[in-house]
Structure 1
Amino acid sequence: MARKTYQGEKNDKSRTMNKLIQSVGIVLEKKGYTGLTIANIASTAGVDRKLISVYFGSVENLIETYIKGKDYWVEATAAAEQTLANSKDESTRHFLENLLLEQIHYFALNEEMQKVVLWQISEKSDIMSHVTQSREKMSSLFFPYSDKELAGKNVDLRAVSSLLVAGIYYLVLHTKMTDSTFCEIDLTTEEGMNRIKEAVKFILKQTYGAE
């Protein structure tokens, strides 16, 4: 019988890396992006701060690893290529509509990512620059399909999509930070959120010229 290979050190490393990654989210939720220091993250994880450099190279790489693992668009891109290829006979409107409706749901519930986006629009950083570049991979996958479908139509789907994505971010953040209505719509209610979702569907339907 073959001897089992000792996995203790490997498992310890994996557990510690996971603890550090999860601790980024805990610190982000409690203290915001300004609290993402080596000391705070290591203390929350309960490990030696030196291990951040050992396992991730730098605290910036650790934070970026966490954000990319949680970011909606980065995660959605992973499955997008196969989904688009398998649904090539369907309108890309349905694919984009599902993406945006899921974005609303995910972002409204994820306080850590709300703070990440606040960080993104509050100050310039290499971390957020790398993350936003990763998000753009979805564009390079999706738009070639929609360009074929909308060929000959005077439609700028990139501009429409930009407004919808940005609008979703802003509406959720506005509701979270001000606890007030927007254009007399209460997004803290299911009825209010459904009105926004229906508006997204309407805009895409008009953009595509769908019946």
Structure 2
Amino acid sequence: MTKRKEYKERDADEAIRKLLEATGKIVREEGFEAITSTKVARMIGMDPGVVNKRFGNLNGLKEAYIKTKDYWVFCFEQYMLPEGARDEEILEMFTGMMLSSYDFFAADGEMQSIIWSQTGVGNNPLLRRLSEEREAGGAPLLALTDRHFADGPVDFRFVACAIVGASYYPVWHARNNKSTVAGIDINLEQHYKGYRNILAYLMELAWNDAGRSYTEKPFYGKYLPLT
């Protein structure tokens, strides 16, 4: 590689880094929906055309930015287990993954804005595709739970869905509105830790209940048949 080409690649990498950092700053201050090529480029003293040059278009920049922030990608890589993993290893893996995602989401305002946009914006092909990629990444891990829940009426995917939603909702309230949910304010350290413990407890409760029929637990109330 010639020195000139080396310098050009170094300059390109530096431009990409600055553009991604500027995008993050906009998200922190104004929200994900505020990202525009002009705003990002001007923040670092460049022409808006640099976004197309380095990322193809604005969606290319948004996608690259999201992939630097999406903790689920890192979770899937960190917590992947072999198909022959023991049941207790699978529970430990899911508990660790869900709690780390809760910690990351609660601490990262940029990710809060990204997920909010994914759930609140109309038909956005980019955000929809990235959500589907996230789902595909988690599918092999969820498949590991099928053996444990095979003899009962519960599919662990329902449990995982509930835990993920439960991780997001009080964070949005606490961080954005400074408000409580059922009297719980996770801005308070004691409430934050208490809620975290409950997420782990619910995972373990569902796991230990696998195989029991609904009729064995009348105090659960009525259930709709799944078939």
TM normalised by structure 1 equals 0.90
* Structure 2: 5+ residue stretches without partners: 210-227
Q: Relative contact order, CA 8 A, sep 6+: which one is greater?
A: 1
Which residue, 75, 97, 115 being the options, matches 2:95?
97
**Equivalent residue, structure 1, for 2:225:** none
**Equivalent residue, structure 1, for 2:68:** 69
**Equivalent residue, structure 1, for 2:217:** none
- How many residues are aligned here? 205
Name the Cα RMSD after superposition.
1.8
Structure 2: distance between partners of 1:172 and 1:130: 24
By how many angstroms is 1:68 displaced? Answer: 1.5
By how many angstroms is 1:87 displaced? Answer: 8.1
> Any residues of structure 2 matched to 1:27-38 within 5 Å, and which?
27-38=26-37
Tell whether the 8 Å contact from 1:74 to 1:134 is kept in structure 2 after alignment: no
Structure 1: distance between partners of 2:20 and 2:162: 32
**Equivalent residue, structure 2, for 1:115:** 113
- Counterpart of 2:85 in structure 1: which amino acid? K
* Structure 1: 5+ residue stretches without partners: none
Larger mean CA deviation between 114-123 and 158-167 belongs to 114-123
Tell whether the 8 Å contact from 2:22 to 2:44 is kept in structure 1 after alignment: yes
Structure 1 stretches of at least 4 aligned residues deviating more than 4 Å after TM superposition: none
Taking a change above 3 Å as real, the CA distance of residues 144 and 14 of structure 1, as seen in their structure-2 partners, is same
Tell whether the 8 Å contact from 2:149 to 2:155 is kept in structure 1 after alignment: no
Structure 2: distance between partners of 1:154 and 1:91: 22
- Counterpart of 1:97 in structure 2: which amino acid? T
As a proportion of its length, which structure holds more helix? 1
1:85 corresponds to 2:96: no
Structure 2: distance between partners of 1:174 and 1:76: 24
Tell whether the 8 Å contact from 2:118 to 2:127 is kept in structure 1 after alignment: yes
SS at match of 1:149: coil
Tell whether the 8 Å contact from 2:79 to 2:93 is kept in structure 1 after alignment: no
- Counterpart of 1:64 in structure 2: which amino acid? E
